[in-house]
Chain A
């Protein structure tokens, strides 16, 4: 799904080659910004935090040992920078308590989704993700855009693999419920 940057020339960057660092930024900026936007729910703050992420990446580059993928390492910094900002703002976006979605409702929602054209669907997804809690929004974004394994996700989020699995399931369930509500509202608006 995503256009990823190739492995950066770390030695060149450490020697002050800004062009090599520009390539690195260009390769990862969209996902870093998207995650920041979905966690912080504010474009200005997302831009600022995304920039802070890359400054931290630059400063910490000499400590990167290659234990994980380079992209995993960057996204962990991005995720932690967002969490720090949320802590500083004292306004982490949490999930509202919701009922569980039933098998019938899932099928119903899936059928309703079929009737929506692609451009509308894209807008609908954004609205749904906007309503997810910060951590769930980040998890879903990393999972679907980077196609990360549970191990890589656990590295980014600093959680056990099983916890990631459970969280992913819950995040999907919440997203499905939000989607169901949005679709119901859309149907009412269309017939109203």
Chain B
């Protein structure tokens, strides 16, 4: 029995200095590459706002709107704020009344907008394929 204990002590003493070996540096990457899953699931998309905060914000907006409508009434808001908006709108209209776009400029703006939309789609596809 004593020799068993001695043997155990000897090996225990020996194994204290033992250390683990490490596989290659890109081991984990290689394992992930071999997984039978869609690669784009590497990223988990999470909404920027947690659901609870989003619900709270909506509730707050509804409550404030309800409070304002209840306190002042719709007719008062119509008279005071909408009239002021009208005044601002008129002055802005006066400011830009001299402005005239030529047909060419309008076509260029429409074409640029169209190109922007197409590029957005193309870029999205490009980055999706890079991630995958």
| Interface, chain A (partner B; CB < 8 A) | 2, 12, 15-19, 21-22, 25-26, 29-31, 33-34, 37, 46-47, 50-51, 54-55, 58-59, 101-103, 106-107, 109-110, 113, 118, 121-122, 125-126, 128-129, 140, 144-145, 169, 172-173, 175-176, 179
Contact = CB atoms under 8 A, between A and B. Distances in A.
Contact of A22 (B11, B28, B38): B28
A131 to B, nearest CB: 14
The 10 A-B residue pairs with the shortest CB-CB distance, nearest first, are A16-B41, A103-B3, A121-B17, A33-B23, A30-B20, A144-B15, A18-B42, A172-B11, A106-B6, A34-B21
Specify the main secondary structure of chain B where it touches its partner. Answer: helix
12 contacts: A16-B41, A18-B37, A30-B23, A50-B23, A55-B35, A103-B3, A103-B6, A110-B10, A113-B10, A140-B11, A175-B14, A176-B7
Contacts of B15: 125, 140, 144
Contacts of A34: 20-21
If over half of A's interface residues share one DSSP class (helix, strand or loop), that class is named, otherwise mixed; here it is helix
Nearest to A47: B23
A46 B129 CA distance: 33
Interface residue range, chain B: 20 to 34
B6 A125 contact: no
A16 B21 contact: no
A109 B41 CA distance: 55
B21 A29 contact: no
A181 B13 CA distance: 17
B9 interface: yes
Interface in B1-54: 2-4, 6-11, 13-15, 17-24, 27-28, 30-32, 34-38, 41-42, 44
B126 to A, nearest CB: 21
A33 B10 contact: no
Contacts of B35: 18, 21, 55, 58
B23 A125 contact: no
B1 to A, nearest CB: 11
Contacts of B34: 51, 55
